[in-house]
Amino acid sequence: MSKRDDVQKYYTWSSIIKKIVSYSFIINAIGALLSIITSERFLLITIVVQLIATFVNIVLGWIDDNIIFPNAERTRRKSNIDNSFDINTTIDMTDGYYNNKLSPSVEKFLLNNFESIYFTINIAKKMVLNEAIKVLISLSVLFIAFNVFAGTEMLLLIFQLVFSGTYILGLASLLIFISQINRLYEDFYHSLITENHYSDKKTIRLLSLSAEYEIIKGSHRIKLSSKIFNQLNPTLSSQWDSLQKESLFYKSGRKNETQY
């Protein structure tokens, strides 16, 4: 459990936007259902509501994906470097965010990344069902729109196409993300748990995998669910505590070497 995490404030706006996007998703879905049963008198209102909801959903989602969330992730990377090497690249401090007690070193940096990958893969897997449900709902909304407004409300149809496409691509991106992160987890596990010998080549390879981890996160921009994190955190933290003690860096005593 993190005692102090100044970086979290950079994720606040991303969380707020995520909630607005979720609300706009629900409003659009309700608007689509109402368009089936409402009278012609109120049909225009449902069209306007859906247009506004889809516009807000698409635009705010883009702003978060390309501006706000990447900035938060950039600050998190800096805090990882500060924690790993006991230096100051940012004024934002963390205490207890990472759960290993290694001395400042390359090994601490690598174990921090292994921990991050461990939490990421477990949380991401739990997100699949919710994202799949969103895809089914968005496709239902698209189906309703084309049946009710086919050939009449072209702007709404275009918006709904983009809206549904966003969630379909989002699920596809999450599945690819999970596959790539799972491979990294297996590589880290094999290098630090299965193998019992240290080498400089192994360290270089793990640094390369750490860089790949950041590239994958930056490419997919997957926002891990804070709700799922809070649900899993006690269990994952306990499991991670046992896992890290089996790591090569703990067993070999290299936690006291290569300090900066």
Return the percentage of the chain with pLDDT > 70, whole number. Answer: 95
Rounded CA gap, 221 and 66, in Å? 9
Digit-coded pLDDT (tens) for 99-158: 888 888 999 999 999 999 999 999 999 999 999 999 999 999 999 888 887 767 788 889
pLDDT grade, residue 235 (50/70/90)? Answer: very high
In this structure, how many other beta carbons lie within 10 angstroms of the beta carbon of residue 26?
11
Give the domain extent around 63. 4-80+91-96+104-256
Long-range contacts of 221-228 (CB under 8 A, 24+ apart): 221/65, 221/69, 221/70, 222/124, 222/173, 222/174, 222/177, 223/14, 223/18, 223/64, 223/69, 224/120, 224/123, 224/124, 224/127, 225/123, 225/126, 225/127, 225/130, 226/15, 228/123, 228/126, 228/127
Task: Count CA atoms within 13 Å of residue 135 on its CB side.
Answer: 16
Q: Give the per-residue pLDDT at 151.
A: 67
Instruction: Pull the structure tokens for residue 256.
Output: 């006291």
**Range picked from 48-52, 119-123, 242-246 for highest mean pLDDT:** 119-123
In a domain, 133, yes or no: yes
In a domain, 148, yes or no: yes
Instruction: Pull the structure tokens for residue 65.
Output: 């994906």
pLDDT grade, residue 2 (50/70/90)? Answer: low
- Assess whether pLDDT exceeds 50 at residue 260: no
- When divided into structural domains, the chain yields a total of 1
If you search the block for the tokens 């496409």, which residue do you land on? 165
Dihedral angle computed from the Cα positions of residues 65, 66, 72 and 75, in that order, rounded to the nearest 10 degrees: 140
In a domain, 85, yes or no: no
Q: Output the pTM of the full model.
A: 0.90
pLDDT grade, residue 259 (50/70/90)? Answer: very low
